[in-house]
Amino acid sequence: MRWLLMCLSMVSTMAVAESSPVAIALHGGAGTIERGKMSAELEATYRVFLEAAITDGHRQLAAGHPGLDVVVNVIQKMEDSPLFNAGKGAVYTWDGRHELDASIMHGQQLEAGAVAGVTTVKSPIALARTVMEDSPHVMLAAKGAEAFATAQGIESVDPDYFGTERRRKALEAYKADEYAGVEPEADYKFGTVGVVVLDKAGNLVAGTSTGGMTGKRWGRVGDSPIIGAGTYADNRSCAVSATGHGEFFIRHTVARDICARMQFGGASLHDATAEVVLKALVAAGGEGGVAAVDRAGNVALTFNTPGMYRASINATGVKTVGIFGDDE
């Protein structure tokens, strides 16, 4: 009889797992991303990447992979692509270097890990996860973070690995504008990648990785590695990854604010992201957006800029892939 009850319990657990909803959303940066300023070839390249990344991430979730693994796997694909300002393809600092930031958070026990200002770590998101799982700390920075990475066997690379001609030209243009005393035409303050998921176990996970801001100086750190600003996840509400002008996201604790509006105010995911990104941030002069998912598998891709690289698959299987503001 005990054996029969155990079997029935296992079958029941498997049935719940099979029917449990999963969802995923990602962003690849927000800013002045307009059709007229992008070639058809480059647009197609972005769309193919976003489609493949969201499909693969969803497949992993549907197969029962833990959300933590999926977030890291998908972000690493973006870190390895020169299309995005994270890992390979990261922007240059004023001094012609790369200083990378990342963070990750698991919504079950509110565990989190983050790194800031690393220069030789191939995958900052992998290091952020290791900080969360294998250290007593939440955030490590610069040389200390790199020493920890070495001790943990995290892959390191020569700093030149991150460089691309596209980003080098962006730095040159930025400096030219600065020296001329004119307002830069390009979006030097934008560029981040992030992934949020709801996995079969009902856990919400969020991760964010970035190269920061073109021309940044003095060890500047944005919102991406700051828990509550650029990244937050709580199984009681939602998971959020942000992209945009980091200083505003830090001041307004954007990611945590969205989750808190749901947890304590009863707001829906749609209303919470809209109130923060489209109202509070706009009123403050902050630009950017978020990818978010709630515990029911609803997703939100909300931004107040002309465009945001984005993709999602919600709990009902509806897929979206977009770049421009007028994409469906």
CATH of residue 280's domain is 3.60.20.30
Q: Please say if the pLDDT value at position 7 is more than 80.
A: no
Looking at the whole model, is its pTM more than 0.85? yes
Section 154-182 average pLDDT: 93
Whether residue 257 is contained in a domain is answered as yes
CA atoms of 251 and 225, how far apart (whole Å): 14
Mean pLDDT on 45-74 = 98
Would the pLDDT of 24 be above 60?
A: yes
Collect all residues with Cβ–Cβ distance below 8 Å to 61 and sequence separation of at least 6. Answer: 22, 23, 24, 67, 70, 197, 198, 199, 200
168 lies in some domain: yes
Whether residue 319 lies inside any domain: the answer is yes
229 confidence band (pLDDT: 50, 70, 90): very high
Identify whether 4 is part of a domain. Answer: no
- Inter-residue long-range contacts of 144-147, CB under 8 Å, 24+ positions, other chains counted: 145/115, 145/116, 145/117, 145/118, 145/121, 146/118, 146/119, 146/120, 146/121
Within a domain: residue 91?
Answer: yes
What is the tens place of the pLDDT at every residue in 191-203? 899 999 999 999 9
Q: Residue 4 pLDDT > 60, yes or no? A: no
In the sheet that holds 139-141, the strands lie side by side as 139-141, 111-118, 100-106, 204-210, 193-198, 23-31, 307-313, 319-324
Query: What is the average pLDDT across 249-277?
Result: 98
Percent of the chain with pLDDT over 70: 92
Please report which confidence band the pLDDT of residue 190 belongs to, taking 50, 70 and 90 as the band edges. Answer: confident
**pLDDT at res. 182:** 81
Average pLDDT over residues 144-165: 98
Q: Which domain holds residue 44?
A: 22-324
Q: How many domains does the chain divide into?
A: 1
Which helix or strand (DSSP H or E) is residue 272 part of?
A: helix 269-273
pLDDT tens for residues 84-100? 999 999 999 999 999 99
d(CA 148, CA 192): 24
Residue 106 binned pLDDT confidence (cut-offs 50, 70, 90): very high
Has residue 201 been placed in a domain? yes
**pLDDT of 327:** 85
In a domain, 179, yes or no: yes
Q: Is 32 a catalytic residue?
A: no
The catalytically annotated residue of 130, 192, 210, 243 is 192
| pLDDT at residue number 80 | 98
**For residue 46, what are the contacts with CB-CB under 8 A and spacing of at least 6?**
28, 83, 309, 323
For residue 231, being part of any structural domain is answered with yes
Residue 312 has pLDDT above 80, yes or no: yes
